[in-house]
Amino acid sequence: MSAREVILARIRSSLTDVPVGVAPERDVPVAWKYAQAVDVGDVLGSFAQRVADYKATVVRCAASEVPDEIAKALTTLGVRSVVVPTGLEESWKDAVTKAGAHVVVDSEEHRLSHKELNDTGAVLTAAAVGAAQTGTIVLDHSADQGRRALSLVPDVHVCIVRADQVVSGVPEAVARLKASVQAGQPLTWISGPSATSDIELSRVEGVHGPRTLYVIIAE
């Protein structure tokens, strides 16, 4: 017998107390209402507040002001080169050039090597969902967010979240993301910049991911 068959047989012989043929949902019902909104009051306000709690920079602005805010962010952070995914809004890409930084596009034809990514100052992406209660941003790596390595290797992540992408909490976020997962897309949930508390539990921002997270909320 293969290991697979042995393990399955062991499981079945361990579960003789479980009635045969009863659907799992009937056997053990779960009294939980999924995908409910949670009470956070002002959703956008809480989102901004909670993201800032993680020591990320948060800026709220009108959608039309996003390019200006991008330029401001790059100047403040002193970033010289920025990697962008192919599907990013053109006006946002242009903002990088206007700020005097160099744009590097990561495309199917030209995938940046790990080293090239490592040598780039920042990454600029959109997002898929924001969750207010926990201050979480989720990327589903659609064309305006790029593959996973983009938002990981450069030291600065400038992320633009649209107001209509922000939901109250994790339950609503999970519900919104389901279609992406079913389509086979990976997800990256981000709550603040990379952090460790491994040395005497003192929190240090930035071990391996971006040490700076700069969030622009477009309203």
What is the C-alpha separation between 191 and 179, in angstroms, rounded?
Answer: 22
Which CB, 97 or 118, lies closer to another protein?
118
Stretch that binds another protein, among 67-75, 120-128, 158-166, 169-177 (CB under 8 A): 169-177
What is the C-alpha separation between 176 and 179, in angstroms, rounded?
Answer: 7
82 touches 61 (CB < 8 A): no
DSSP annotation string for 94-127: HHHHHTTPEEEEE-SSSPPPHHHHHT-SEEEEE-
Q: Tokens standing for 200?
A: 């005497």
Which CB, 80 or 178, lies closer to another protein?
178
The Cβ of residue 30 has, within 10 Å, a number of other Cβ atoms equal to 8
Closest alpha carbon to 165 in 51, 86, 76: 51
Write out the binding residues for another protein, residues 89-118 only, by CB under 8 A: 108, 111, 114-115, 118
Contact status: 199 vs another protein (CB under 8 A): yes
Select the residue interacting with another protein from 2, 21, 64, 90 (CB under 8 A). Answer: 2
Contact status: 141 vs another protein (CB under 8 A): yes
Write out the binding residues for another protein, residues 147-166 only, by CB under 8 A: 147-149, 152-153
Select the residue interacting with another protein from 99, 161, 190, 215 (CB under 8 A). Answer: 190
Contact status: 185 vs another protein (CB under 8 A): yes
Contact status: 136 vs another protein (CB under 8 A): yes
Write out the binding residues for another protein, residues 34-63 only, by CB under 8 A: 34-35, 50, 54
Across-strand partners of 166?
130
